[in-house]
A and B are shown apart, each in its own frame.
Chain A
């Protein structure tokens, strides 16, 4: 009898610990997200520099509009891609090429294969999409970090598993291991902090490709603003309209 009560108490304690851990991870992710996008909705200007064997291969410019509910609209702004738009609504994606002027539904796989993987620039937060556990502590580049094992909470996330390292001191993201569906390590992300309008923000995310060894990418966050678009703009049929603020 005493043994059974002890087991039940331990189980209850374990569940409470898990729940506490779950809440803690969500809080940690929210704190980390503040360094990437401290807004529910907004516009982020990014410059993506792709490197091949260490040499700069391409530079691309994007304007990304983000809204709650996993909605993002990417406007391609480089000369060779001008007029392209990609809309992401949860797990559904559309691409509009200026030469055809019709929104084309694409698969998650086609989205992943695109230039600079638009998912990398359109995903600015983890809190909404991931959950997991704190699995330990490690020091990365001299920064004592909490190690978080995260699992995607919806099927449309670019990386179903992430191992994220957050600074123990202020919870800023230091490094992330990004795994694809086959659980292969696809990319290693490193985060560089800078001071933007008096706040510490991630200014550069460097992605080292582990599937294509010679490739790496730097995502430079040029500006963040609270400029938002009405819901109409996040309708696939709206992509053919040109009254998008550029």
Chain B
């Protein structure tokens, strides 16, 4: 993470140099400095689950502690450089406010000898789905977050080619990196393909990295009539990784070791897939339905084992010779199991939304359901967009079967309000 921040600062310096040194290029292209400023305040409230089996470790985690976030965002173009800079102050219960300055994006798109090239730090999002994006193999965006912060780009170099109905790009992501802590920070080479055939888009991706070997994916988005959009996405990996709790057969003492609470297992040839569609009416209502399979996500028995081990740790509390700190540390470490893209392997999303025709109000209600263990997540949100002012509010509640992934989350509910002002 530190390396990324250092990289961001370096790119920012490059961008600033370009801003003051390359206005001639911008003028030649007809571009000019055009930057927009947005101030955003997000307040959060969390309800911790009183009967959580992870209660002993929660003070050592971030669960339920986020209170607010104040973001200043500068977005736009300065000469040839596209920029997204954010300065964020975030507050957590029981902690001093934390400040962070980040160059989320700083890149240059240019032509070189008739070839289109991009260089710098850039968001490389892909895929066609809403709840899950199997072929988003470069950006690896976390989905279904409430009022998420701006995406952070990836250091990259790409060569882009465009035809009448298609395009392909050769991307070098995180140049010079090998395998890093997170998959999105790994060095990789990817070929991205796009083709439009009548009312359907087809996307393809091939990516090579040390961690996953070769990944191949394809996705499509099709608009068969004026109100309906259908989409599908599929990814096949040479190998994948999945998180799982330690084996049940380990000695009791191992339960107190934070390092071994969660293990990473290699999965051979996993597959990830999603199908879905959106139907929109003239009155502004839309219904989105999606179903997916993630071959690297935990299965129901993994979550049951995690809950069982948390209960075993809690039972050790107060026993002679068992340090409470060790119980808390190991329990806190085991909650890293929740820190992954998809909690259930098979999921369904139904989203009913209404947007005021012509803009203004938007309302939505989401039901996310795990087909593995009958867990549910219910979300309701509302927003209003004015000339410069935007208001957001929402609430999410986790529930379902007692040993389901969503029900095991240490938070029972979370709510937020957001105010944004754009200049």
Contact = CB atoms under 8 A, between A and B. Distances in A.
B123 A215 contact: no
Contact of A227 (B30, B196, B225, B280): B30
Contacts of A212: 357-358
A42 interface: no
Nearest to B229: A107
A91 B162 contact: no
Contacts of A57: 387
B359 A92 contact: no
Contacts of A18: none
A108 B280 CA distance: 9
Contacts of A209: 358
Contacts of B123: 100-101
Contacts of B359: 50, 58, 114-116
A26 to B, nearest CB: 26
Interface stretch (A32-40, A136-144, A231-239): A231-239
16 contacts: A50-B358, A58-B386, A80-B386, A80-B387, A82-B34, A82-B75, A101-B123, A107-B226, A109-B281, A110-B286, A155-B226, A235-B165, A236-B194, A238-B162, A243-B29, A243-B109
Nearest to A83: B75
Contacts of A101: 122-125, 151
A151 to B, nearest CB: 17
Contacts of B31: 243-246
B82 A242 contact: yes
Contacts of B29: 243, 245
Contacts of A13: none
Interface residues of B, number: 64
A206 B390 CA distance: 26
Given A80-B390, A102-B127, A242-B107, A116 B358 contact: yes
Interface stretch (B4-12, B95-103, B110-118, B329-337): B110-118
Interface of B: 29-32, 34, 36-38, 75-77, 82, 107, 109-111, 116, 118, 122-128, 141, 150-151, 160, 162-167, 169, 194, 196, 199, 201, 221, 223, 225-229, 278, 280-282, 284, 286, 355, 357-359, 385-388, 390, 422-423
Interface in A201-232: 209, 211-212, 215, 227, 231-232
Nearest to B227: A109
B77 A242 contact: yes
Contacts of A3: none
Contacts, number: 144
A11 interface: no
Given A58-B386, A101-B151, A110-B280, A246 B34 contact: yes
Q: Which of A80, A106, A211, A238 has the most CB of B within 10 A?
A: A80
A58 to B, nearest CB: 5
Nearest to B390: A80
B280 A99 contact: no
A117 interface: yes
Interface in A55-105: 57-59, 78-80, 82-83, 91-92, 98-102, 104-105
A245 B30 contact: yes
Contacts of B126: 102
Contacts of B75: 82-83, 98
A80 B360 CA distance: 12
Contacts of B164: 231, 235
A241 interface: yes
A109 B201 contact: no
A211 B283 CA distance: 10
Contact of B282 (A59, A104, A109, A232): A109
A186 to B, nearest CB: 10
Interface string A108-131: 111011111100000000000000
